[in-house]
Amino acid sequence: MDFTFSEDQLLFQESVHDFLVNEVTPEKIRELWESETGRSPELWAQLAEMGLTGITVPEDFGGLGMQMLDFVLLGQECGYVALPAPLVHTAMVAVPLLVNSKSDSLKQTWLPKIAAGEAVVMVGLEQNVFVEDAHIADLLILEKAGALYAVDPQAAALRANESVDLSRKLFTVEFDETKAEKIADGAAAQTLTEAARNGGALGVAAEALGLAQRMVDISVQYTGERKQFGVAIGTFQAVKHHMANIAYRLEYAKAPAARAAYAIDNGQDCIAMAVSHVKLAACEVANLAAKNCIQVHGAMGYTWEVDLHIYMKRAWAYANTWGDAAFHKQRVAAYVLADDAKLGAGNTF
């Protein structure tokens, strides 16, 4: 299979990159930390105007009808700026869950609103414990005792929880399932839940790749300006090795991201393994980037004033979001060690 992205895909990625870098600056992120919700309705409206909130929404509901493979590059750009908005969650978790549900009323009501940027839908699975951005959601889709429910946030009890990343807004949510709309239960709920988990894991993996690249870029700029013994520290071999160790692992983690997105789009048997592979690879390189970039910054890397910690803390948080390393290693091992594991053309990884 060919993972060479088209010229249109790369141009779209470039335009999104330019927009996000200009609009989502570290200064803007710090401002949002001090706001009541930590979110910017103006930024969300801009994302909607660019069509980003409706990328994976089917055309029949006002969206662009694109696939995971189309969005995986954009997910990396969201990570590059540590986007303080649930765009990746919307495109890779909430929208696919609604599209694949059996509820026509939910689709008709919410998909057009999501595409237009008029509604935020957040999904919470029992595995994650906390629900992100529940405080700004217009609809919550929550898992409880093996069933999925559509919940009005106004009818639920939200309790805020602190995160190491000040841009992530986490909540525990309690609701009465007898007063909520049951979307699915049994095998149908399990299928939707597994798909949501895979979409979420792929989403944070894509963001982790962007986070790693941003930390490298910040550190390369710093080491080019910081001088010791009269020369830039970026010329020191030890510093070059720190950056090189991130760079090659980052490059090798990009193909698995495309591979996992392709597997999801085409309903392949290896979805769980492909998603877990990229989640492990991406979060590993993001955490390595955090470690090595702090190292090359020296004591400055630990200070509040340096922007590095904005991206570093997001990388730390993502390591345990949508399944920790142990969970994803088990899924890869289950696939590789299965008696009927297939290595044919349809499942080659």
Residues 6 and 48: their CA atoms lie apart, in Å, by: 23
Asked if residues 113 and 153 have their Cβ atoms less than 8 Å apart, the reply is no
Contact 225, 322 (CB under 8 A): no
Per-residue model confidence (pLDDT) at position 238: 60
Confidence of residue 305 (pLDDT cuts 50, 70, 90): confident
Q: CA 266, 271, 200, 325: dihedral to nearest 10 degrees?
A: -160
Confidence of residue 301 (pLDDT cuts 50, 70, 90): confident
Task: Count the residues in the chain.
Answer: 349
- Tens of pLDDT, residue by residue over 83-137, are 999 999 999 999 999 999 999 999 999 999 999 999 999 999 998 889 999 999 9
| In contact, 267 and 12? CB cutoff 8 Å | no
Q: How far is CA 255 from CA 18, 54, 110, in A?
A: 23, 25, 33
Residue 32 tokens read as 């949002």
Supply angle C-alpha 182, 187, 192, rounded to 5: 65
The per-residue pLDDT for 224 is 59
Cα–Cα distance for residue pair 203/334, rounded to 1 Å = 22
DSSP class of residue 92 equals I
Taking every pair of Cα atoms in the chain, the longest distance, rounded to a whole number of angstroms, is: 70
d(CA 75, CA 92): 9
The CA distance from 90 to 116, in Å, is 12
Query: Residue 271 above 90 pLDDT?
Result: yes
CB atoms near residue 329 (< 10 Å): 15
Q: For residue 258, give every residue at least 6 positions away whose Cβ sits within 8 Å of its Cβ, in sequence order, or none.
A: 3, 5, 69, 72
168 contacts 321 by C-beta, under 8 angstroms: no
d(Cα 254, Cα 73) in Å, to the nearest integer? Answer: 9
Rounded-to-integer distance, Cα 273 and Cα 258, Å = 13
Structural domains of the chain, with CATH: 188-337 (1.20.140.10)
Query: In this predicted model, what pLDDT tens digit does every residue of 7-16 receive, in sequence order?
Result: 999 999 999 9
Q: Average pLDDT, whole number, for the chain?
A: 91
311-339 pLDDT, tens digit per residue, is 999 999 999 999 999 999 999 999 999 87
pLDDT at residue 348 in the model: 41
- The whole-number pLDDT of residue 298 equals 78
